């Protein structure tokens, strides 16, 4: 706490201006000067220990001695602001600016009051003044325009700052929010077209314009801009995003593949766009099987992607289409990189079952049983596979071992009992066959209730 008080003393010494007095005796001048400094230092000390009322009392004494001293009003404003007495704080900060219009910190104090009281319209007036001191306050002005829904002013200022200091994530979010309203898109499109005309080698303007046309379903115009971008900047990866879509719509598979590979290999283009392109090509390749090899290559771009497990998602896509062969292929691809993904293991085993690939089902389920010895589904799939392969003894052993791990899963328990009945039927034990089929039937009846 002492450090705070000492700092306040030193700060106060720098703030106290020369005392301008009428001609008086030297003793009187010294007396007034001493009184002012004593009261001022007392106010700083009391503020430092958060005794704001006492600090204000001392400052009022200072004000009586020097009613034209802007520093006194500034300090009064700070003390009132600390007490959340906003009107008194604002009035004193304002008085400080009237005495010394160049006192930036008094203007900041008024801004703090406006912001704390959510008087954003008045805050704009204050911040427009603060911009004269420091252009960084234009960032605050953007936020205030957004809060007061002055979107036209916000958009103009965002574009100005983007050009002068570069883009920021916050401003880009504001801009995207503004441009959801179609009435602001016209002026923005015109602005971007003018920028492209003035500087045809600036890639970002083309990209923004392509996005805007795409969002408003003006695909032809988006394509025109993409072609112009490709012409002006042949190395641009962004041009290929729109060209890919155009080629796909025209069933120009080879050209679409070329554009896709450029986009997927680009470090400039966002992952979300890449995923969208892959999904579109996935649908295209399903209807055009000759491009399956290109799909395989496309998936390889995402092998290190931890956020979206592309091969697994493509497996699910094919599973939903009941294309079990392709589903199997992509689940296997995923598991070659992520070996312990139980969800995908079970999806793969189900795909083997649906495609009647019982040899593979038996082998993979047995391997997984060694790795995950308490997962009952693995024993079930192994039993089912061996029953289909007429390996009834192996089926019985697996099913009897796995059924003990079934907890609170009636459907799985029913399936276990059915497969056990099949196994004992194959082994010629009709008594146990009936026992397990009866159990399965009883569980079915309970489940229906």
* Final residue belonging to a domain, choices 117, 134, 162: 117
Show the domain range for 421.
357-449
Q: What is the CATH number of the domain that holds 104?
A: 1.25.40.10
Cα–Cα dist 95/87, whole Å: 12
**Is residue 140 a part of any domain in this protein?**
no
Q: Reduced to 3 states, what is the DSSP secondary structure of residue 83?
A: coil
**Is residue 133 a part of any domain in this protein?**
no
pLDDT of residue 254: 94
* Final residue belonging to a domain, choices 117, 141, 159: 117
Q: How many residues does the chain have?
A: 449
**Is residue 367 a part of any domain in this protein?**
yes
Q: Between helices 86-99 and 70-82, what is the axis angle to 10°? A: 160
DSSP of 101-128: TT-HHHHHHHHHHHHHTT-HHHHHHHHH
Q: How many domains does the chain have?
A: 2
pLDDT of residue 20: 35
**Is residue 209 a part of any domain in this protein?**
no
Q: Reduced to 3 states, what is the DSSP secondary structure of residue 134?
A: coil
The 8-class DSSP code of residue 307 comes to: S
**Is residue 199 a part of any domain in this protein?**
no
* Final residue belonging to a domain, choices 87, 117, 147: 117
**Is residue 294 a part of any domain in this protein?**
no
**Is residue 235 a part of any domain in this protein?**
no
Give pLDDT tens digits along the chain (449 positions).
323 333 333 334 334 443 333 333 444 444 457 889 999 999 999 999 999 999 999 999 999 999 999 999 999 999 999 999 999 999 999 999 999 999 999 999 999 999 999 999 999 999 999 999 999 999 999 999 999 999 989 988 998 898 888 888 899 889 888 877 777 777 788 888 888 888 888 888 888 888 777 777 777 787 788 888 888 888 888 888 878 888 888 899 999 999 999 989 888 787 878 888 888 998 898 889 899 889 888 888 887 776 668 888 889 988 988 999 999 998 998 998 888 899 999 999 999 999 999 999 999 999 999 999 999 999 999 999 999 999 999 999 999 999 999 998 999 999 999 999 999 999 999 999 999 999 999 988 887 66
Cα–Cα dist 315/331, whole Å: 6
**Is residue 205 a part of any domain in this protein?**
no
> Is 403 within 8 Å of 376 (Cβ atoms)?
yes
Q: What is the pTM of this model?
A: 0.53
């Amino acid at each position: 706490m002492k450090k705070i008080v000492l700092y306040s003393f030193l700060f106060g010494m720098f703030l106290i201006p020369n005392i301008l007095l009428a001609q008086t005796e030297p003793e009187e001048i010294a007396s007034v000067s001493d009184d002012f400094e004593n009261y001022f230092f007392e106010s700083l000390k009391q503020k430092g220990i958060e005794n704001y009322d006492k600090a204000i009392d001392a400052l009022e004494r200072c004000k009586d001695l020097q009613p034209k001293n802007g520093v006194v009003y500034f300090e009064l404003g700070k003390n009132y602001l600390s007490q959340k007495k906003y009107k008194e704080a604002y009035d004193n900060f304002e008085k400080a600016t009237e005495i010394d219009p160049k006192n930036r910190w008094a203007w900041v104090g008024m801004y703090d009051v406006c912001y704390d009281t959510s008087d954003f319209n008045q805050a704009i007036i204050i911040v427009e003044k603060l911009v004269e001191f420091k252009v960084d306050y234009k960032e605050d002005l953007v936020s205030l325009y957004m809060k007061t829904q002055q979107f036209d002013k916000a958009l103009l200022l965002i574009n100005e700052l983007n050009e002068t200091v570069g883009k920021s994530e916050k401003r880009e979010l504001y801009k995207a929010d503004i441009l959801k309203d179609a009435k602001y898109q016209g002026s923005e499109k015109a602005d971007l077209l003018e920028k492209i005309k003035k500087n045809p080698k600036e890639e970002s303007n083309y990209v923004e314009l392509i996005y805007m046309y795409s969002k408003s379903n003006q695909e032809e115009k988006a394509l025109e801009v993409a072609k112009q971008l490709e012409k002006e900047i042949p190395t641009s990866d962004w041009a290929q995003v729109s060209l890919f879509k155009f080629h796909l719509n025209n069933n120009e598979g080879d050209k679409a593949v070329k554009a896709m590979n450029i986009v997927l290999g680009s470090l400039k283009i966002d992952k979300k766009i890449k995923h969208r392109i892959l999904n579109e090509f996935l649908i295209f390749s399903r209807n055009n099987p000759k491009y399956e090899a290109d799909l395989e290559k496309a998936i390889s771009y995402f092998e290190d992607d931890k956020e979206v497990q592309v091969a697994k998602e493509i497996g699910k896509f094919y599973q939903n289409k009941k294309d079990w062969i392709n589903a199997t292929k992509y689940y296997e691809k995923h598991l070659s990189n992520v070996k312990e993904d139980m969800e995908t293991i079970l999806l793969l085993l189900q795909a083997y079952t649906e495609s009647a690939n019982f040899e593979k089902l038996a082998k993979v389920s047995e391997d997984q049983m060694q790795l995950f010895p308490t997962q009952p589904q693995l024993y079930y799939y192994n039993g089912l596979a061996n029953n289909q392969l007429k390996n009834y003894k192996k089926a019985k052993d697996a099913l009897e071992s796995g059924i003990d791990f079934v907890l609170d899963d009636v459907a799985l328990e029913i399936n276990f009992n059915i497969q056990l009945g099949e196994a004992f039927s194959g082994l010629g034990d009709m008594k146990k066959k009936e026992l397990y089929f009866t159990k399965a039937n009883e569980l079915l009846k309970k489940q229906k209730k």
